[in-house]
Structure 1
Amino acid sequence: MDIKTYGVIGAGQMGNGIAQVASMSGLNVIMNDINTEFVERGMANITKILGKNVDKGKITADEKDAVLGRIKTSVALKDMEEADFVVEAATENEPIKMQIFKDLDEICKPDTILSTNTSSIPIGRIAAQTKRPEKVIGMHFMNPVPVMKLVEIIKGIATSEETFKTTWDLSLKFGKTPAEANDYPGFIANRILLPMINEAVFCLYHSVGTPEAIDTVMKLGMNHPMGPLALADLIGLDTCLAIMETLYNGFKDSKYRPCPLLRKYVEAGWLGRKTGRGFYNYR
């Protein structure tokens, strides 16, 4: 397929990053969110990152302007009727995602591919909300999107080979390295990563060590670039909890049981960097 216009649902941390890399690849982009404040904040973040790239000599000021010029902002989902390919990057909330796909199925052209940036919800379940399950696929970017090279591509049971190849090629066009995963809860990345983060939270819960000690052990002992608790704060503790619950409900295995301390932090509104408080205080 010839993809010219790329739609992004969600202008948050993941959504604006995806919009940026799509525009930098030369595509026209429609970045949508539920209100003007969110899309303006997303555009401001893209502008800030591109400005830093200009200062570092990675791109020219003209290239920055061209990238920004290819991004159209939207607060009406109906604008996605122009898109050839859409990625949903809304909050990791299953009912919200399901409704978005039902709506997109009615709005978008019949040949438009509908993808999701979900990090854990089965693709087949999402595809079943549409009348085009063969054109639904997982396109899971890593955070921060402009920096991280990986895109995890997940086929549902009904996803066609044409949809898979188009998504794979699009990832390469974005300068990413795609990896194929089968459609199981958590796929590859979060089936491995989130239980590790959850176990780090259990270590804190059981007073095995402080957040600083736990993260230092993993950084210096295991050569991880970031400790698991600091990484959880970056991801968002609400997202971490949602993924653990998806794993636990999907496999019914106690090893995926979310740590009670993780749930307590989320209930208190301590969600990490985005709220100024998580396992660390960012205020």
Structure 2
Amino acid sequence: MTSTSTGHRVAVVGAGTMGIGAAHAFALAGMDVLLLDKSTQALDTALRQINTNVRLYGLIDPRLSAGAEVLDRVRVGTDLAEARDSDWLIENVTENHDVKREVLGLLDGVCRPGVPIGANTSAIPIGVLASYTEHPERVIGVHLMNPVPLKNVVEVIPSVHTSAATLTLMRECLGRAGKTTVTVNDSPGFVTNRIAMLMVNEAVHLLAEGVADPASIDRLMRGCLGHQMGPLETADLIGLDTVLYSLEVLSAHRDEDKFAPARLLREYVASGRLGRKSGEGFYSYTS
């Protein structure tokens, strides 16, 4: 597998929460970013959110404050064919097999030979996603963490199809973006979500049983175990629908009762309580 990749032009496909964070992080690292989505409204929202996040993250770490420079490096588009000049790609579309099959297939047909395609998913095995393309050797899992500009470690997951060249290129590209990579073998949920989703699910069980309220659960996990965020805060940030879907994927692939989603989690999602993005989850964000 050969490539002319320089690593300086990256296409981010999907302008949701993770796509916004990825575009922000890569632009902050000095890369030229193409943010793609089928919705022009989503793209407009993404640019506004990046501008807001630059200010917010700058309060946490002054090194993350470079608003005009970041936005100048991000251009947007609605046609996946625009990704043809990119040196590497990160796919962040919704966790739906039909959507991912369509997008990955199109990207595979558009990109130059040897260009690595990073699939960002919460739990779907990378080998499954790679099978949606004609060149599965160029597909690799890239599990970014939210918020991406603040999280410097990235879980990288090659499938049985992924070539050694793809792994090397993707690690180099993420390194240029200031990310430290940890490579793990392909498995549903990988390492981080296989553990994290269990913790979130158990926290929901504790809440449903009346053992403690959300603030107490999260405070104990932060204060006693040193977590930066508690499990219910984390779930609200990720999106309760994404948490539910991840648990369902883990349950289906692992066939283990421990991954069965808590009933309260299903009820929240069914009622539209999805976390930060809907204004209410385990906490209220309407104010």
TM superposition score category, shorter chain reference: over 0.9
In 2, the alpha carbon distance for the partners of 1:261 and 1:60 equals: 37
> What is residue 168 of structure 2 aligned with on the other side?
165
The number of residues matched between the two structures is 282
Select which of 29, 36, 46 maps to 2:40. 36
Which has the higher mean CA deviation after the structures are superposed, 124-133 or 205-214? 205-214
Deviation at 1:80, TM superposition (A): 1.4
One-letter identity of the residue aligned with 2:16 = G
> What is residue 88 of structure 1 aligned with on the other side?
91
Paired residues of 1:32 and 1:39 also in contact (CA < 8 A): yes
In 2, the alpha carbon distance for the partners of 1:24 and 1:258 equals: 37
Paired residues of 1:36 and 1:75 also in contact (CA < 8 A): yes
One-letter identity of the residue aligned with 1:70 = R
1:110 alignment partner, SS class: coil
> What is residue 246 of structure 1 aligned with on the other side?
249
> What is residue 156 of structure 1 aligned with on the other side?
159
> What is residue 49 of structure 1 aligned with on the other side?
53
> How big is each residue's C-alpha offset from its partner over 1:255-281, in whole Å with a ceiling of 9 and x where there is no partner?
111111111111111000110111112
Deviation at 1:55, TM superposition (A): 7.7
Paired residues of 1:93 and 1:242 also in contact (CA < 8 A): no
One-letter identity of the residue aligned with 2:171 = W
One-letter identity of the residue aligned with 2:170 = T
**2:79 matched to 1:79?**
no
Deviation at 1:183, TM superposition (A): 0.3
Paired residues of 2:126 and 2:140 also in contact (CA < 8 A): yes
Paired residues of 1:54 and 1:64 also in contact (CA < 8 A): no
In 1, the alpha carbon distance for the partners of 2:216 and 2:7 equals: 48
In 1, the alpha carbon distance for the partners of 2:64 and 2:254 equals: 49
Select which of 69, 72, 85 maps to 1:66. 69
Alignment of 1:1-283 (within 5 A): 1-51=5-55, 58=62, 64-283=67-286
Paired residues of 2:156 and 2:184 also in contact (CA < 8 A): yes
In 2, the alpha carbon distance for the partners of 1:194 and 1:59 equals: 31
One-letter identity of the residue aligned with 2:115 = T
Paired residues of 2:236 and 2:282 also in contact (CA < 8 A): yes
Deviation at 1:51, TM superposition (A): 4.2
Paired residues of 2:28 and 2:64 also in contact (CA < 8 A): no
Change (3 A) 1:57 1:171: closer
Percent of residue pairs identical: 38
2:10 alignment partner, SS class: strand
In 1, the alpha carbon distance for the partners of 2:227 and 2:63 equals: 30
In 1, the alpha carbon distance for the partners of 2:156 and 2:32 equals: 22
Deviation at 1:252, TM superposition (A): 0.3
One-letter identity of the residue aligned with 2:254 = F
In 1, the alpha carbon distance for the partners of 2:213 and 2:61 equals: 40
Paired residues of 1:194 and 1:243 also in contact (CA < 8 A): yes
In 2, the alpha carbon distance for the partners of 1:212 and 1:64 equals: 33
Paired residues of 1:84 and 1:111 also in contact (CA < 8 A): no
In 2, the alpha carbon distance for the partners of 1:125 and 1:231 equals: 27
Paired residues of 2:7 and 2:176 also in contact (CA < 8 A): no
Deviation at 1:223, TM superposition (A): 2.4
Change (3 A) 1:60 1:127: closer
Change (3 A) 1:224 1:59: closer
Paired residues of 2:121 and 2:141 also in contact (CA < 8 A): yes
